[in-house]
Amino acid sequence: MHADTVGIPCRDVQIQVTDSGEILVKSPGLLKEYYKNPQATAEVKDQDGWYHTGDAGFLDAHGHLKIIDRAKDVGRLVDGSMFAPKYIENKLKFFPHIKEAVALGDGRDMVCVMVNIDFDAVGNWAEKRNLPYAGYTDLAQKPEVYQLIRECIEKVNADLAADEKLAGSQVHRFLVLHKELDADDGELTRTNKVRRGYIGEKYAVLLEALYGGKTEQYVETQVKFEDGRTGSVSATLKIMDVRTYPPLKAAA
């Protein structure tokens, strides 16, 4: 069993992965066409009968199909390594102390991450260690919290190192945001999906600091409160390097 894959193709099902990473499927069980809609059919099924799923992934060394992201969201680092931001973000959010993550790296030389801690989970963790704090912003910047999040990220890096296709997209640097990402502030959709492009623009100063080698960066952000009032949250954010691992070679 491979918990992080969807398994091997069933009998008579063919799988092909394009150079861009999109998964194509061919099978006698596939739809023939959309009813009276040849244009819609042509958009998802080519002349050779391959169905374009819109998902990105790859077949691992055991022939299992691993789906990592939507094809339109998959990018590349400057060295050509595949970069699947949602896959990295989801692996980070498996940890109870991480509520949200924003992975960045398309067209860059390394992957960096902005993290939202889970205030309740990290708060309980801090109280058990007699670590005082005054609200989210203060807790998020505690050195002990940074070390906690760093350990989580390094575990994800170790997992990524075991995937030949994804080993190059290990996280190199991270910061913990001073506020929780919020749909009212335009940072999330109403279904709580990260608006990665918008966040990259809004927090451009943090991106510059992450990729510029800085160890801290001051930021001030406008926020909207539930009662309609507006205000601002500011802090000097720490930036920390993360351990990466050499890719693991598949067994012969």
What is the CB-side half-sphere exposure of residue 222 using CA atoms within 13 A? 7
Whether residues 55 and 179 share a domain: the answer is: no
Whether residues 113 and 184 share a domain: the answer is: yes
**Structural domain of 125:** 74-241
CB 152 within 8 A of CB 99: no
Whether residues 164 and 199 share a domain: the answer is: yes
pTM of the prediction? 0.85
Does some domain include residue 230?
A: yes
Does some domain include residue 177?
A: yes
pLDDT computed for residue 250 by the predictor:
52
Does some domain include residue 130?
A: yes
Does some domain include residue 2?
A: no
Tally of domains in the chain: 2
Does some domain include residue 3?
A: no
pLDDT in tens, 126-179: 999 999 999 999 999 999 999 999 999 999 999 999 888 899 999 999 999 999
Q: Which of 24, 41, 70 is the last residue of a domain?
A: 70
- pLDDT (tens digit, 0 to 9) for every residue of the chain, 252 residues total? 567 788 888 888 999 888 878 889 999 888 888 998 989 888 898 988 899 888 888 888 788 898 887 888 899 999 999 999 999 999 999 999 999 999 999 999 999 999 999 999 999 999 999 999 999 999 999 999 999 999 999 999 999 998 888 999 999 999 999 999 999 899 999 888 899 989 999 999 999 999 999 999 999 998 887 777 888 999 999 999 999 999 986 544
Does some domain include residue 158?
A: yes
d(CA 174, CA 167): 17
CA–CA–CA angle 178, 211, 86 (5° rounding): 70
Q: What is the CATH number of the domain that holds 225?
A: 3.30.300.30
